[in-house]
């Protein structure tokens, strides 16, 4: 069986390719190039940058497998970079990694793999896929390494994508992956991971919006919820829910935080820490991996770094749902993904609106 491995030049995808070859698969390495030549935010060492391409090619050579670079510049700009900028302009906080997985890594690359005669695509994500007993649906499950689990970023994959995907590292820890890489002599075994958005240098998204997405600052008011004006800002795209720094509101008796962004009025609404707490919220564009039921008890992660909390999800119409929280949570942020779990099973997720 031929499998195309999405190779980023990092240790995870390198070991994934090695393991599949050891298991007897006909392995081809694919690296996508998503960097426009005129992109001023390009960095050498990011997952689809020039150094990543060189590292992936080197690993493929050492494993004696074919390697192809796939030009996905137009798709990456349209589906990921433009989405990223548009969300900030709407007063929302985007999650580009989820979109990139759905639209590019498991969208465009899967189509390229089929053109090469492959039946599946594999990546170095820490997650697992099992074929469920209930109607044969494919189930997305957490990795065996809770510290590295990446199912949050994969929740929006559809059944066809799950059926054609493989995660060779799902039953391994990061330490075990590095040990395999070192044992077989891969030069990338000690390569550090980037925790930043790949196309945003030094994690300075404001600079990216200004220089590469042509987002222009637009002055507006900073107000309390009752409408009292406290100051001025240079654009709602410079803020996110829960933010305290950068408000420049001196002389106030207590700290204030961003609690809402009003795109229609170009206002930043601020309040005390207690005003950041929410006991319910709505999500849209939901993806479900289980049979439909009116409501279910789940563990929800309203952002990637959140440890998860109890919730009741009530499914609505047109892909919407309402999430009720027995214990209020801080800084529920529009634009972020909310992913629902039952034990290690991803039952679905949606976008906080």
Would you list the domain boundaries of the chain?
2-203, 217-271, 278-352
| Measured CA angle at 54 (ends 179, 51), to 5 deg | 90
Is residue 47 among the annotated active site residues? no
The CATH homologous superfamily to which domain 2-203 belongs is: HUPs (3.40.50.620)
Write b or e for each residue in 194-217: b if 16 or more Cβ atoms lie within 10 A of its Cβ, otherwise e: eeebbbbbeeebbebbbebbebee
Among 47, 100, 309, 353, the one annotated catalytic = 100
- Which pair of structure tokens corresponds to residue 259? 């609690």
pTM for the predicted model, two decimal places = 0.92
pLDDT, position 133: 65
- Which pair of structure tokens corresponds to residue 298? 């789940």
The CATH homologous superfamily to which domain 278-352 belongs is: Translation factors (2.40.30.10)
Task: Outline where 23-67 has alpha helix (H).
Answer: 50-63
Contact 232, 270 (CB under 8 A): no
Q: Is there a shared CATH topology between the 2-203 domain and the 278-352 domain?
A: no
pLDDT, position 278: 97
pLDDT, position 202: 79
* Residue 21, C-beta contacts closer than 8 angstroms, at least 6 positions apart: 27, 63, 65
Is residue 198 among the annotated active site residues? yes
**Neighbouring C-beta atoms of residue 228, cutoff 10 Å:** 9
Q: Is the CATH number 2.30.30.280 carried by domain 217-271? A: yes
Among 39, 47, 48, 198, the one annotated catalytic = 198
Identify the top-confidence range among 98-107, 128-137, 318-327: 318-327
pLDDT, position 194: 67
User: Using CA atoms, how far apart are residues 177 and 50, in angstroms rounded to an integer?
Assistant: 24
pLDDT, position 73: 87
């Amino acid at each position: 069986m031929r499998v195309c491995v999405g190779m980023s030049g990092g240790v995870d995808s390198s070991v994934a390719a090695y393991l599949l070859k050891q298991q007897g698969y006909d392995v081809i390495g694919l690296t996508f190039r998503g960097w426009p030549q005129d992109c001023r935010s390009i960095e050498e060492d990011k997952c689809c940058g020039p150094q990543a391409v060189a590292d992936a090619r080197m690993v493929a050579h050492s494993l004696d497998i074919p390697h192809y670079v796939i030009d996905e510049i137009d798709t990456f700009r349209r589906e990921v970079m433009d989405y990223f900028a548009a969300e900030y302009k709407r007063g929302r906080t985007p999650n580009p990694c989820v979109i990139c997985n759905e639209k590019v890594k498991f969208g465009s690359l899967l189509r390229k793999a089929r053109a090469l005669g492959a039946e599946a695509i594999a990546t170095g994500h820490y997650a697992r896929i099992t074929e469920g007993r209930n109607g044969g649906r494919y189930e997305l499950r957490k990795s065996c390494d809770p510290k590295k689990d990446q199912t949050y970023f994969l929740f929006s994959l559809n059944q066809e994508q799950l059926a054609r995907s493989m995660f060779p590292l799902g039953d391994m820890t990061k330490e075990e992956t590095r040990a395999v890489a070192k044992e077989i002599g891969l030069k990338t075994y000690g390569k550090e991971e980037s925790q930043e958005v790949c196309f945003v240098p030094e994690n300075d998204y404001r600079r990216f919006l200004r220089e590469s997405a042509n987002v222009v600052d637009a002055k507006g008011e900073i107000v309390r919820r009752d409408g009292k004006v406290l100051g001025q800002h240079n654009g709602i795209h410079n803020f996110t829910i829960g933010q305290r720094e950068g408000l420049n509101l001196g002389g106030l008796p207590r700290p204030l935080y961003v609690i809402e962004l009003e795109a229609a009025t170009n206002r930043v609404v601020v309040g005390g820490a207690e005003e950041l707490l929410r006991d319910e919220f709505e999500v849209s564009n939901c993806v479900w991996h289980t049979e439909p039921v009116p409501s279910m008890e789940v563990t929800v992660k309203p952002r990637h770094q959140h440890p998860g909390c109890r919730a009741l999800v009530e499914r609505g119409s047109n892909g919407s749902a309402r999430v009720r929280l027995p214990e209020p949570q801080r800084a529920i942020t529009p634009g972020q993904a909310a992913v629902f779990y039952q034990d290690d099973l991803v039952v679905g997720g949606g976008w906080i609106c």
